């Protein structure tokens, strides 16, 4: 497909104008005109895509979707808004959000919650990585998790709630992070395919509690986690949490650093855990300064 999309758009614009009652009667009605206009707009939008003009492609897909809505082709309109989202995604993230939210609204109104959840995950990615808006990213992932859960897609639901937990923890929403790590852990207790991840969820939830300066809650949680999964008491994750707790209670930065180093020799500390451990270390340092 190649050529000048403007001629197609001009033709589509004329089709999209409501005709007189007599003209509509002879031509099959305005519905047919809108359908034809939508197809022309889509052809033009795809040419813009080939030309790597994402903004023009997105705008033209939007025109196509508007025509599809006018002739009550709701499913087609939702799919076309998704195409507009793909076009806007690289160059105009705010517009990408706007049109994808329109598509999601259409999907939910028609009971297509699995598809809506998939696109909520995409929204979350956009808010997190392109728009630097962790709050809206967290809300998007959480909504996706709820919709997956309602659709009995447990694995997808847990994946979404873990995104909520990770982001919430990184941005200081520790209670929300703990809630979601614990939620996924409970869902995984009796599932042999996901049970292996329990020690990771327990460790992250524990670090969030400690970072939230609630050592009492962290102690109780560790006891509870061992009740849920007795083998947790034998893991490196459990021992790291125990050593971090003792270091915090004793105000011992060196002990914390040693515990982190020893853990890292066997199980590499990722950026998330390193970030939380650094915050906990800074809290110990601040407490020492307050005593001076």
What pLDDT, on the 0 to 100 scale, is given for residue 288? 65
pLDDT tens string 123-141: 999 999 999 999 999 999 9
Mean pLDDT of 74-100: 96
Q: Is residue 41 domain-resident?
A: yes
Give the residue from 45, 78, 111 where a domain finishes: 78
Total number of residues shown for the chain: 292
Residues 72 and 179 in one domain: no
What pLDDT, on the 0 to 100 scale, is given for residue 1? 52
With a pLDDT cut of 70, the percent of the chain lying above it is: 93
Which among 242, 239, 251, 170 has a CA at the least distance from the CA of 211?
A: 170
Q: Is residue 208 domain-resident?
A: yes
With 90 as the cut, is the pLDDT of residue 75 above it? yes
The CATH number covering residue 256 comes to 1.25.40.10
- Which of the given ranges, 22-36, 169-183, 189-203, has the highest pLDDT on average? 169-183
Q: Is residue 123 domain-resident?
A: no
What pLDDT, on the 0 to 100 scale, is given for residue 23? 44
- Taking CA 163 as the corner, what is the angle to CA 198 and CA 91, rounded to the nearest 5 degrees? 155
* Alpha helix (H) residue ranges in the chain: 5-16, 21-27, 30-50, 54-70, 74-88, 93-109, 113-125, 134-150, 154-170, 174-188, 198-211, 215-228, 236-250, 253-266, 271-291
The domain containing residue 42 runs over which residues? 1-78
Q: Is residue 27 domain-resident?
A: yes
Q: Is residue 116 domain-resident?
A: no
Q: Measuring CA to CA, how many Å separate 86 from each of 62, 79, 92, 118?
A: 12, 11, 10, 14
* 275: helix, strand or coil: helix
* 251: helix, strand or coil: coil
With 80 as the cut, is the pLDDT of residue 196 above it? yes
What pLDDT, on the 0 to 100 scale, is given for residue 179? 98
What pLDDT, on the 0 to 100 scale, is given for residue 256? 97
With 60 as the cut, is the pLDDT of residue 143 above it? yes
Q: Is residue 127 domain-resident?
A: no
Give the residue from 59, 78, 97 where a domain finishes: 78
pLDDT tens string 220-259: 999 999 999 999 999 999 999 999 999 999 999 999 999 9
What pLDDT, on the 0 to 100 scale, is given for residue 252? 96
Phi, psi of 92 (to 5 degrees): -135, 70
pLDDT band at 287 (very low <50, low <70, confident <90, very high): confident
* 246: helix, strand or coil: helix
């Amino acid at each position: 497909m190649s050529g000048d999309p403007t001629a197609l758009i001009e033709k589509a614009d004329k089709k999209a104008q409501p005709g007189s009652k007599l003209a509509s009667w002879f031509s099959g009605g305005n519905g047919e005109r809108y359908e034809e206009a939508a197809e022309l707009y889509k052809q033009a939008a795809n040419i813009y895509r080939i030309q790597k003009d994402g903004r023009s492609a997105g705008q033209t897909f939007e025109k196509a979707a508007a025509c599809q809505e006018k002739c009550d082709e709701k499913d087609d309109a939702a799919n076309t808004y998704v195409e507009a989202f793909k076009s806007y995604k690289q160059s105009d993230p705010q517009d990408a959000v706007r049109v994808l939210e329109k598509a999601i609204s259409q999907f939910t109104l028609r009971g297509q919650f699995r598809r809506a959840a998939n696109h909520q995950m995409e929204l979350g990615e956009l808010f997190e990585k392109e728009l630097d808006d962790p709050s809206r990213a967290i809300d998007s992932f959480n909504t996706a998790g709820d919709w997956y859960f309602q659709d009995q897609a447990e694995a997808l639901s847990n994946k979404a709630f873990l995104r909520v937990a990770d982001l919430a923890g990184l941005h200081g929403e520790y209670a929300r992070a703990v809630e979601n790590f614990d939620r996924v852990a409970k869902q995984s207790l009796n599932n042999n395919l996901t049970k292996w991840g329990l020690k990771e969820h327990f460790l992250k939830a524990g670090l969030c509690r400690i970072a939230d300066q609630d050592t009492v809650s962290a102690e109780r949680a560790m006891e509870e986690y061992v009740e849920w999964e007795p083998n947790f008491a034998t893991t490196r994750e459990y021992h790291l949490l125990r050593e971090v707790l003792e270091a915090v209670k004793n105000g011992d930065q060196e002990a914390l650093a040693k515990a982190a180093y020893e853990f890292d020799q066997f199980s590499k500390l990722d950026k998330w855990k390193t970030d939380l451990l650094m915050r906990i270390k800074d809290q110990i340092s601040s407490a020492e300064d307050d005593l001076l």
